[in-house]
Structure 1
Amino acid sequence: MADVRKKLNDFVNGLEAVGHTNGEEVGAFMNLLGACYEPKTIDLKTKELMSVAIGIYNRCEYCIVYHSYKALEAGASKEEIMEAAMVSVAFGGGPAMAYSVTLLKECVDEFAPDFA
């Protein structure tokens, strides 16, 4: 089993470390994220649920870990996160289901108590 907290920390710390040598690029990426996740007509929780589904569909482990955490932080329930993942399964089939029932389930189980 993956250590999802380690993956989350590796991603966040990696962004910071690479930002020291490639600050312009990392900064541009972070500015894009900031603009995209700013609540406008769609609230942050919904955007994070969308991101979970897209991460599942794309089979991006770091995206799944990061956005499952951020979805919980934004107020999403475990049930909402898993429902969003099932939408990705409608498009991504077996591989999306595999990531949903393994890595995503582990993330939700691990991170949900942080926001209870």
Structure 2
Amino acid sequence: MKKDVRGMLKDFTDGLAAISETNKANVNAFMRLLNTGYKEGALSTKTKELMSVAIGVYNRCEYCIVYHVYKSLEAGATREEIMEAAMVAVGFGGGPSMAYSATLLKDSIDEFENDFK
């Protein structure tokens, strides 16, 4: 059964906002770290997002996969680039990483791809 990836993305972002109410300093520190790490530098933001897709697939982190597929597409990545990044993760993570690539990752691309065309 397909997961509601758009709902998962909303749950994650809403969850961050909710825990920020009682843990504002921690959430802000986390967001500063992300914002700093994903800025353009020697590597493009798109490359960093693709790396994050691969790491999410390798770690089988569903919310990471959904979020970073969205952010990769937002940064200009193509379906082919996202799938290729995931296949690098499969080389390290084997069958479980392939399972997440063939399901949640693919469904996330299908859902969000048209948001950025």
Q: TM-score, normalised by structure 2?
A: 0.98
- The CA RMSD measured in Å over matched residues stands at 0.4
1:7-54: CA deviation from partner (whole Å, max 9, x where unpaired): 000000100111011001101100110111111100000000000000
Partner of 2:31: 30
Structure 1 equivalent of residue 45 of structure 2: 44
Could you list the runs of 5+ residues in structure 1 that have no partner in the other structure? none
Measure, in 2, the Cα distance between the counterparts of 1:115 and 1:107.
Answer: 13
The DSSP-based 3-state class of the residue aligned with 2:80 is helix
Structure 1 length-normalised TM: 0.99
3-state DSSP of counterpart to 1:22: helix
For residues 115 and 78 of structure 1, the distance between their equivalents in structure 2, rounded to whole angstroms, comes to: 12
State the structure with bigger RCO (CA 8 A, min sep 6), 1 or 2.
2
User: Equivalent residue for 2:103?
Assistant: 102
Cα distance between partner residues in 2 of 1:95 and 1:36: 27
- Report the count of equivalent residues: 116
Percent identical: 65
Alignment partner, residue 86 of structure 2: 85
Give the counterpart letter for 2:52 in structure 1. Answer: S
Amino acid paired to 1:8:
L
Which residue is equivalent to 2:65?
64
User: After TM superposition, where is structure 1 displaced by more than 2 Å over at least 4 residues in a row?
Assistant: none
Q: CA deviation at 1:72?
A: 0.1
SS of equivalent residue, structure 2 residue 39: coil
Gaps of 5+ in 2: none
